[in-house]
Structure 1
Amino acid sequence: MTDALPIDAAALVNGMAVRARAAAAILARAPTERKAAALSHAARILRGEAAAILSANADDVARAEAAGLSSAMLDRLRLDEKRIAGIAGALEDVAALPDPVGSTIDRVERPNGLCLSRVRVPLGVVGIIYESRPNVTADAGALALMAGNAVILRGGSEARASNRAIHDCLVAGLEAAGLPADAIQFVPVTDRAAVGAMLAAQGLIDVIIPRGGKGLVARVQEEARVPVLAHLDGINHLYIDRAADPAKALALTINAKLRRTGVCGATETLLIDRAYADPAPILAALADAGCEVRGTPEILAIEPRAIPADAEDWDTEYLEAIIAVTFVDGLAGATAHIAAHGSHHTDAIVTEDEATAEAFLAEVDSAIVMWNASTQFADGGEFGLGAEIGISTGRLHARGPVALEGLTTYKWLVRGTGQTRP
């Protein structure tokens, strides 16, 4: 299908959703072994098609560079042999995970003899709208499939060739395992009207998951008539407490900010306890590594290469080699700053004081809160979940890395022996 021709977005998406609903009914009853086999086949096919995928990705990157895409977006878009291997490995990891479908959450017997249990069931048809990252095509398809859902994927136009190449491998895996190809569908056009049609597909799509920038998520939340599981900004904080080990503080700061600046788990704001003995080496190490330090006057007085921070810096997800830095008055100052400026994604403390650490873990209201660990561990694969759809920063249904369990709901099963209600 070509984007040069006018499309009826509603007809396109609704047709996909009807086919997905039929596929979802089959997947809900599919044995674990068959779903796992589909992913294993897809991983093998993906490895075999690595050269073709990299060629498609090179075309996407060239177009993105010509369009002036930011370095962070280019990093998310670009594939290489190592990333291809990682995508294939993630498919196999998901295939090896315990199947949540049909598992019992809890069971209780009432005084009247009724036996009640809650069991996990698929959500049904999941729509995923995302930007830049081709690996999301594989991760989202794999997780949705293993959780018994059919999925409709709408990737960003900047990654259209890469996404289609990866999607072809997933479909081939489904067919090799005897599962319907409609279980994982990819919207074949880049027309933005298709996004609107997905958001309006109430009764056809059961949940929408956006994964992308603030503009995308805002549009989804504003327009959706379908329930939304949101992934918002990663305005993540690393707080260096007065009792932090200097070596850990330095290593964690550099890793949390600079390992990969374009991921949502990257630290964007560094908070330093005013009572911390020697912050200068940390600030110097950031600047030496090519990171732009934006700080308050106190920070500028210590690190001459730093530049003044403005009010917007405390509320910005840079996804670049830029970090905002300020001093705070102890734990109370750190938690107050995070409450005022954080996005409830991931926040971390560096300290050797267990009581302070436990207070931080309890008081910070984020999906992921860490002690003496890099915020870059905010990732479903690192959490042992195989992969993730995204990091949910909300409070309902699923929170943190959304993986298999986050793509299920539950139903009540009631077993009786003839009880009637008095």
Structure 2
Amino acid sequence: MTVDLQDMGQKAQQASYQLAQLDTLQKNAVLSTMATELEQRSQEIIAVNQADLANAHGLTASFSDRLTLDKERIYAMATGLREVINLPDPIGNVDKAWVNNAGLRIAKRRVPIGVVGIIYEARPNVTVDATGLCFKTGNAILLRGGKEALQTNIKLVEILRAALVKHNLNPDAVQILTETSHELANEFMQLTDYMDVLIPRGSARLIKAVVQNAKVPVIETGAGNCHIYVDETADLQMATDIMVNAKVQRPSVCNAAEKLIVHKSIAREFLPQVAQQLAKYNVELRGDRQACDILKTKCTLASPEDWDTEYNDYILAIKVVDSLQDAIKHINAHNTKHSEAIITNDYTNSQLFLDQIDAAAVYVNASTRFTDGFEFGFGAEIGISTQKLHARGPMGLEELTTTKYVIRGNGQVRK
């Protein structure tokens, strides 16, 4: 291996000390330069990205989609950086303050985490999104992307580092591993001397591997076995529109719907209607016996594994249930705690679903595709946390901070 992770970690830690001292105006100026540089050098990025695509073999259509950058997507990344500029800077905010019995003035203040590691797969926009959020919160970042997008990610980091240099800042605030071996990845996960938190973004397999092998604290993100439940009182046209959007608008992402759960009383009317619309996009339907009995040749019998699978493709599994409680029980047994939705006109049923579903984001009468930092108003996101400690759901600026207690006295000693 030619990558010296200890050296990278030490440099990132040193850069993080400088970042922590920057004020909001300085950080926003750098983010603006980063956005402009991405736009101005978009043709360079596209050329390298096309080479990555040409060198990758055996990719699925959905994987290629996640890997591909065009001018529109590059400008969207730049827009994400500018959205981050417009967001309030949490660093230095005081969550609460009080005076204790000894007369000490105690304040709980927001500070950077320090050095954040990101391990991710095909989507090169993560390189920019994560860098923007980490920089705004005063964190240095170490990036380890997938082999299929390696040269694209290296080019993006080159451009982001050049923006730092233009502002006389340490470019080691943004670094990327230039090798993608599993051996190096395992070493990266154990960089406890320098890395404060590790965030995996990608498939369930990647996330599981990181959780099992990392010694650095991990925030789990990303895996999305998302369900839409169509209640017996649902507006069926609304349900059809939402289901089609959630499945086909961008099936390769983690907030796309993978499962459709339907109440038995409306299944015979609704399933042919939604299947007709999904057929326009060549969505493969897999269902339980009741769904297959209704849809006949349009549906194949689902296997037990289907209920736990995140397809990231034009595939949808369908289950017919007897009641709302059966739907909730099934979803909680098989979901990945990401995003779940109910389509209903019954307020009581909507409240039961909201209260009882265990997930980071729970919707009533809306597509799961809205689980996104940009859509939530956070600017770009660093990931969607599916765990419960520290952060949950789309992770924006505040989730990339920690707290420090600042205590001021005038000579107090403890008795």
Return the TM-score normalized by structure 2: 0.96
Task: Give the letter aligned to residue 200 of structure 2.
Answer: P
> Which residue pairs with 2:58 in the alignment?
68
Task: Give the letter aligned to residue 153 of structure 1.
Answer: L
User: SS of the residue aligned with 1:69?
Assistant: coil
The 5 A counterparts of 1:168-207 are: 168-207=158-197
**1:365 is the counterpart of 2:358:** yes
How far off its partner does 1:80 sit? Answer: 1.4
| Alignment partners' CA distance in 2, 1:8 and 1:220 | 22
Once the two structures are superposed, residues 392-416 of structure 1 have per-residue CA deviations (whole angstroms, 9 ceiling, x without a partner) of 1111111111121111111112233
The 5 A counterparts of 1:99-138 are: 99-138=89-128
| Alignment partners' CA distance in 2, 1:420 and 1:380 | 46
User: SS of the residue aligned with 2:265?
Assistant: coil
> Which residue pairs with 1:405 in the alignment?
398
How far off its partner does 1:109 sit? Answer: 3.1
User: SS of the residue aligned with 1:165?
Assistant: helix
Once the two structures are superposed, residues 206-254 of structure 1 have per-residue CA deviations (whole angstroms, 9 ceiling, x without a partner) of 1111111222222211211111111152000111111111121010000
**1:224 is the counterpart of 2:217:** no
> Which residue pairs with 1:390 in the alignment?
383
Structure 1 stretches of at least 4 aligned residues deviating more than 6 Å after TM superposition: none
**1:32 is the counterpart of 2:27:** no
How far off its partner does 1:299 sit? Answer: 1.0
| Alignment partners' CA distance in 2, 1:347 and 1:73 | 23
**1:293 is the counterpart of 2:285:** yes
> Which residue pairs with 2:51 in the alignment?
59
| Alignment partners' CA distance in 1, 2:19 and 2:400 | 13
How far off its partner does 1:119 sit? Answer: 0.9
How far off its partner does 1:63 sit? Answer: 1.6
**1:317 is the counterpart of 2:296:** no
| Alignment partners' CA distance in 2, 1:106 and 1:247 | 48
| Alignment partners' CA distance in 2, 1:404 and 1:178 | 24
Aligned residue pair count: 412
Question: Contact 1:76–1:132 at 8 Å: present in 2 too?
Answer: yes
The 5 A counterparts of 1:267-346 are: 267-276=257-266, 278-279=269-270, 280-304=272-296, 305-346=298-339
Task: Give the letter aligned to residue 345 of structure 1.
Answer: H
Question: Contact 2:84–2:136 at 8 Å: present in 1 too?
Answer: yes
Once the two structures are superposed, residues 25-73 of structure 1 have per-residue CA deviations (whole angstroms, 9 ceiling, x without a partner) of 0111111111111111011111111111111111111122xx2012211
The 5 A counterparts of 1:72-111 are: 72-111=62-101
User: SS of the residue aligned with 2:110?
Assistant: strand
| Alignment partners' CA distance in 1, 2:335 and 2:15 | 40
How far off its partner does 1:343 sit? Answer: 0.6
User: SS of the residue aligned with 2:374?
Assistant: coil
Question: Contact 1:236–1:267 at 8 Å: present in 2 too?
Answer: yes
Question: Contact 2:288–2:302 at 8 Å: present in 1 too?
Answer: yes
**1:162 is the counterpart of 2:152:** yes
How far off its partner does 1:98 sit? Answer: 0.9
| Alignment partners' CA distance in 2, 1:249 and 1:351 | 9
Question: 112-121 or 156-165, which moves further after superposition?
Answer: 112-121
User: SS of the residue aligned with 1:203?
Assistant: coil
| Alignment partners' CA distance in 2, 1:130 and 1:330 | 39
| Alignment partners' CA distance in 2, 1:242 and 1:222 | 41
| Alignment partners' CA distance in 1, 2:188 and 2:380 | 24
How far off its partner does 1:108 sit? Answer: 2.8
Task: Give the letter aligned to residue 127 of structure 1.
Answer: G
How far off its partner does 1:114 sit? Answer: 3.0
How far off its partner does 1:384 sit? Answer: 0.7
> Which residue pairs with 2:134 in the alignment?
144
Once the two structures are superposed, residues 319-361 of structure 1 have per-residue CA deviations (whole angstroms, 9 ceiling, x without a partner) of 0000000111222011100111011011111112122111111
| Alignment partners' CA distance in 2, 1:296 and 1:189 | 44
How far off its partner does 1:390 sit? Answer: 1.0
| Alignment partners' CA distance in 2, 1:217 and 1:24 | 26
- Aligned counterpart for 1:377 among listed residues 334, 345, 370: 370
Give the % identical residues.
42
CA RMSD of aligned residues (A): 1.4
| Alignment partners' CA distance in 1, 2:324 and 2:380 | 33
> Which residue pairs with 1:4 in the alignment?
none
Task: Give the letter aligned to residue 261 of structure 2.
Answer: L
User: SS of the residue aligned with 2:277?
Assistant: helix
User: SS of the residue aligned with 1:383?
Assistant: coil
Question: Contact 2:222–2:383 at 8 Å: present in 1 too?
Answer: no
Question: Contact 2:102–2:412 at 8 Å: present in 1 too?
Answer: yes
- Aligned counterpart for 1:253 among listed residues 234, 243, 247: 243
| Alignment partners' CA distance in 1, 2:98 and 2:266 | 52
Return the TM-score normalized by structure 1: 0.95
Question: Contact 1:77–1:132 at 8 Å: present in 2 too?
Answer: yes
Question: Contact 1:236–1:375 at 8 Å: present in 2 too?
Answer: yes
Unaligned stretches of 5+ residues in structure 2? none
Once the two structures are superposed, residues 248-268 of structure 1 have per-residue CA deviations (whole angstroms, 9 ceiling, x without a partner) of 101000001110000000000
Once the two structures are superposed, residues 56-94 of structure 1 have per-residue CA deviations (whole angstroms, 9 ceiling, x without a partner) of 111111122xx2012211110011121111011111111
